Amino acid sequence: MLVLTRRAGESIVIGDDVRVIVLDVRGDTVRLGIEAPRSVQVHRAEVYAEVQAANAAAASNVDDLGALAGRLQRLARPAPGARSGTRRSQRRHGSPDPADPPRPRPPARPGPGQSPTGSPSQPPVPAPPPAGRPVPAPPPSRRPPRQDPDRPAGS
């Protein structure tokens, strides 16, 4: 072990990148400043010992991680005879499930300015706001108007 004597304001250089500066000496307490690149880890000895112990404990649980990984793989595999995929993916890929018959389509919604029968109508009159409380305007729609798939575009 190298033993050096330094006073407040004096420093020690370790290698090319690390500098230890004696900042203050009061009684039997010495304050040190350490200049080092971010890639160099600097710890107090008692903290370093705790970090090493925690790392050793975590490394000893590798068997637990292997068992957990095996259980997750078994859960991820479909059971024999189980349906694969979801309804959404089946609709997307065109493979309907025979146990899930197609649902009837809901009736088409009338377009803006039309009554439920399809004829032009007057827009509905909004109800007056409750007394004493202003009603904020709804946010503008960011979606384009929905097109009825049964009607040609532009009609």
Q: In which domain, by residue range, is 19 found?
A: 11-58
pTM, entire model = 0.38
Domain contains 104: no
Domain contains 19: yes
How does pLDDT run across 93-146, given as a tens digit for each residue?
A: 555 555 556 666 666 666 665 555 555 556 666 666 666 666 666 666 666 666
Domain contains 42: yes
The total domain count for the chain is 1
Exposure string of 62-99, with b = 16+ CB inside 10 Å and e = fewer, is eeeeeeeeeeeeeeeeeeeeeeeeeeeeeeeeeeeeee
Question: Residue 31's pLDDT is what?
Answer: 96
Domain contains 101: no
38, 18 Cβ separation under 8 angstroms: no
Confidence of residue 75 (pLDDT cuts 50, 70, 90): confident
Give me the long-range contacts of 6-12 (CB less than 8 A, separation at least 24).
none
Question: Residue 94's pLDDT is what?
Answer: 55
Question: Residue 68's pLDDT is what?
Answer: 78
The residue that leads in pLDDT, 22 or 64, is 22
Domain contains 41: yes
